[in-house]
Structure 1
Amino acid sequence: MHKRSLYPLHGLPRQRQLWSWISFDVANQSFTLIINTLLFSIFFSAVVVKNDAIDDRIWALTYGGSMLLTALLSPLAGAIADERGLKKTFLIASGIMCGVFTCALGLIQPGQLWLAVLLYVPANFAFSIGENFLASFLPGLAKQDEVGRVSGFSWACAYGAALLLLILTAGGMLLLKMEAPEAWRPIFVFAGLWFLLFIVPTYRWL
């Protein structure tokens, strides 16, 4: 009788490729959590716009514009990547683009609305299109009956990364007295650097 391994990827081939694929999922948690979920919309309203009457509308237009750009360009980018064998190139390019523009969010000063828009829109576009390219690799890494196991383990790793990021972000804010939105710019740089660091395994081994 064989004991079942507690390691979800046990027995699967291409272990290094699987982990490099998961690493990108870990990387983009910094953008998902710190930028899109927790901090940047508050920073945008409180520091960049500073007008309660219009801040929500401007943020909605900014976020919506980035998603519209993704919807318009994703099919074209996907077709080019498939035809020319550029999926990995496009995936890594999207990760670098998102990481760099996320770091650049730390340059935004109070009232610099256009700079905030010009930095956030390409960052969120790169994040979103990168998600599409990442998903396209899974059928080539796992058989049909293995996809659920691999994607579930990747989700668990990403969830763990998000918890770690939450602890690091909250701890840093408390220790460095960065509770006010005006003080959050270094956190955006940290989010970008996290993204860039964890796409290195993807670049090397996927």
Structure 2
Amino acid sequence: MVNRIDWTGTQPPKATEKGIWGWMFFDWAAQPFFTVVTTFIFGPYFVSRLTNDPVSAQTTWSNMATISSVIIALLSPVLGSIADQSGARKPWIGFFAIIKIISLFGLWFAAPGSPVLYPVIFMILASISAEFSIVFNDSMMPRLVAKHEVGKLSNTAWGLGYLGGMIVLIAVVTLLAASPESGKTILGLDPLFGLDPKTGQDARITGPISAVWYLIFILPMFLFTPDVGRGLPFGTAVRSGLRELKNTLGELRERRGILRFLIARMIYQDGVNGLLILGGIFAAGMFGWATIEIGIYGIILNVVAIFGCLIAGRIDRGVGSKVTVVISLTMLLLATIGIISTGPGYTLFGLMPLPTADSGGLFGTAAEKAYILYGLLIGFAFGPMQASSRSYLARSVNPEEAGRYFGIYALSGRATSFMATLLFSLVTYMSGSPRLGMATLILFLAGGLALLVRTPYPADRA
């Protein structure tokens, strides 16, 4: 079992081996929503099959992400600060779990040709509930292990999350998702439960599946992971939390290292959010990938992501979170350039022509294979980037202030994230080219990386 130390002079709650695994299983429980709903299955279905206008659907999906990001940005710091005063985090996680689970079940009704308003509302509710729960779960981390173990814990949990997401994705692709033409899965089987791919049931089922998975696997965290005791009554906690948030925002002027880290993270996380939200639907629009192709692509990325997090955990423990994030951002920047430089018959903006012949089967063209290679860089880097960013902050604050600082951390990940999706929507709408829209992500990744390089580590040093 990992060692634990007292950071603040008061004994933190004891985290048994079960408690630590329970906390890590939160990521295992939460990840399928992001993997099969947001990124690889339901999102591309929303764009390519729910309506007859893929460009307009991409804009609608981007607008949904923008609205979610604004709500998350405004409320995460407030909720985190209130949680610091009210004490226990688990009641908050449970409350938002109810909203998330109900919303995910609602996605089942998003049949082709049905109004897009309802799935958009359900996605907004599920997204903000998922992100608010992450704020409370992350704020528990500094109390579980010693500071030098935080990076390993964070990356291991993130890798466990990708493993959970991959298992669900594999199940969907091999047992549920079928070709609309043949009606068979990639294994040549009839879809389980009699799902009809022509009406999108193979994609729509990912909402209820993610809901059930989440419900089952957050239970170890509730049962075994220690939580702080109850603090102030709710009304008093709200008033006190708002005062503390105001004080913390003013305090950031003195803690300039943390402020610089949060600004850097705000910028580069915008680019990463955009890449995760839009990457799958960009591929679906460019290559005409159906659920099976998108699913296999997602499996490849998740397999690579698991190994990336395991390797990054050792790097983080050896040389620190900052070096891990810098390496990861550099890889993401190169991958994004590669993706937007690739189209049918070429890559690297035409400097490398590619054969246009389709060899048949999955990813039959050379351009699709090039896209997958760039995707491997994304898979290897985006997990460590997020996990080590989380441990970067955990090493820079005390447990008693973790709630409000992780709330501000969520704000820094979402405060301007609507800018990435909004800029994508505007550029795509004005130019008619999703490729130009995707190119705007480079600005966020490169800008955040440049600022992070000049940020102290840990961030509370200056």
Provide the rounded CA distance (Å) in 2 between the counterparts of 1:100 and 1:195. Answer: 11
Corresponding residue number in structure 2 for 1:164:
167
Corresponding residue number in structure 2 for 1:5:
none
2:208 corresponds to 1:193:
no
Change (3 A) 1:56 1:10: same
Maintained 8 Å contact 2:41/2:206: no
Maintained 8 Å contact 2:103/2:123: yes
1:130 deviates by 1.7
- SS in structure 2 of the partner of residue 112 of structure 1: coil
Provide the rounded CA distance (Å) in 2 between the counterparts of 1:186 and 1:122. Answer: 18
Provide the rounded CA distance (Å) in 2 between the counterparts of 1:95 and 1:105. Answer: 16
Change (3 A) 1:180 1:130: farther
Write out aligned runs for 1:54-203 (5 A).
54-109=56-111, 110-172=113-175, 173=177, 174=185, 175=189, 176=191, 179-180=197-198, 182-183=200-201, 184-203=203-222
Cα RMSD of the aligned pairs, angstroms, is 2.0
Maintained 8 Å contact 1:42/1:181: no
Maintained 8 Å contact 1:27/1:199: yes
Maintained 8 Å contact 2:103/2:122: yes
1:50 deviates by 2.9
Q: Which moved more, 1:22-31 or 1:187-196?
A: 187-196
- SS in structure 2 of the partner of residue 196 of structure 1: helix
Q: Which has the higher contact order (CA 8 A, sep 6+)?
A: 1
- SS in structure 2 of the partner of residue 111 of structure 1: coil
Counterpart of 1:51, as a letter, is: D
Maintained 8 Å contact 1:47/1:182: yes
| Residues paired across the two proteins, number | 198
1:149 deviates by 2.3
Provide the rounded CA distance (Å) in 2 between the counterparts of 1:71 and 1:201. Answer: 28
Change (3 A) 1:19 1:180: farther
Cα deviation, 1:109-146, whole Å, max 9, x if unaligned, reads 33221111211101011111222221111101111112
Percent of counterpart pairs with the same letter?
Answer: 23
Counterpart of 2:135, as a letter, is: N
- SS in structure 1 of the partner of residue 207 of structure 2: helix
Provide the rounded CA distance (Å) in 1 between the counterparts of 2:26 and 2:82. Answer: 21
| Higher percent of residues as helix | 1
Q: TM-score, normalised by structure 1?
A: 0.86
- SS in structure 2 of the partner of residue 28 of structure 1: helix
5+ residue gaps, structure 1: 1-8
Provide the rounded CA distance (Å) in 2 between the counterparts of 1:114 and 1:51. Answer: 15
Counterpart of 1:150, as a letter, is: L
Maintained 8 Å contact 1:98/1:192: yes
Maintained 8 Å contact 2:100/2:129: yes
Cα deviation, 1:29-55, whole Å, max 9, x if unaligned, reads 110100111122222223444323421
1:75 deviates by 0.9
Q: Which moved more, 1:84-93 or 1:62-71?
A: 84-93
Out of 197, 220, 223, the residue aligned to residue 204 of structure 1 is 223
1:92 deviates by 2.4
1:204 deviates by 1.8
Corresponding residue number in structure 1 for 2:301:
none
Cα deviation, 1:179-199, whole Å, max 9, x if unaligned, reads 557122223211111111111
Provide the rounded CA distance (Å) in 1 between the counterparts of 2:80 and 2:72. Answer: 11
Counterpart of 2:209, as a letter, is: F
